């Protein structure tokens, strides 16, 4: 089978606890999966391993058939892996647009090219049907809209 992501025999330990013990997760392109379990079951830990926030004690990760060492979110993003965090990573007094491009700004002679960023964000918003107001302050929008912003941040990176 051709899997887009494979987490093979992942074990992640913390002092005094095994959070993930020999976990294998295989995903095909286009599939949607949900990880279900009680609080403390290891779901977030497993996804943090995939996103490079934690390193497993055992196991390997394959992306599109190639074994990868994901040492952080930049590595994950370069492989097309994004993460919508359980606790949002948004700056409340910034706009939707500012939050989406934060850390990925393009500049021209030291000035931000916000017009280009706005155009790209609006195109992605339309493409994925995640309609957002780029000028709204994060502090003024709903939790559902903040989730859209997190998703669009991943699409832009």
DSSP per residue over 28-75, as a string? -TT--------TTSSHHHHHHHHTTSS--SEEEEEETTEEE---SHHH
pLDDT one-digit tens code per residue, 92-117: 999 999 988 886 656 566 666 788 88
d(CA 41, CA 126): 36
Q: 139 or 74: whose pLDDT is higher?
A: 139
Q: What angle do CA 9, 68, 42 make, to 5 degrees?
A: 40
Q: Could you tell me the pTM of the whole model?
A: 0.69
pLDDT the model gives residue 1: 64
Does the pLDDT of residue 138 top 90, yes or no?
Answer: yes
Sheet holding 17-27, edge to edge: 17-27, 5-14, 58-63, 66-68
Q: What is the C-alpha separation between 43 and 5, in angstroms, rounded?
A: 16
Average pLDDT over residues 78-89: 80
Instruction: Give the residue, 116 or 88, on which the prediction is more confident.
Output: 116
* Residues 3-21, mean pLDDT to the nearest whole number: 96
Phi first, then psi: give them for residue 122, nearest 5 degrees: -70, -35
pLDDT at 106: 60
Confidence class for position 14, pLDDT limits 50, 70, 90: very high
Write down the pLDDT at residue 107.
Answer: 58
Average pLDDT, integer, range 18-31: 93
Taken in order of first residue, the domains within the chain and their CATH numbers are 5-78 (3.40.50.300), 96-156 (no CATH)
């Amino acid at each position: 089978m051709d899997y887009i992501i494979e987490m093979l025999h992942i074990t992640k330990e913390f002092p005094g606890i095994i959070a993930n013990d020999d976990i294998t997760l295989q995903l095909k392109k286009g599939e949607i999966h949900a990880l279900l379990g009680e609080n403390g079951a290891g779901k977030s830990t497993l996804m943090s391993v995939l996103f490079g926030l934690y390193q497993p004690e055992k196991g390997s990760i394959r992306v599109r058939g190639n074994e990868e060492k994901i040492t952080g979110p930049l590595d994950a993003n370069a492989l097309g892996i994004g993460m919508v965090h359980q606790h949002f990573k948004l700056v409340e007094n910034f706009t939707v647009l500012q939050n989406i491009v934060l850390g990925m700004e393009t500049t021209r002679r030291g000035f931000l090219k916000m017009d280009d960023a706005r155009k790209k964000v609006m195109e992605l918003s339309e493409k994925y049907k995640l309609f957002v107001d780029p000028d709204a302050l994060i502090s003024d929008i709903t939790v559902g809209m903040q989730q859209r912003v997190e998703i669009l941040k991943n699409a832009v990176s």
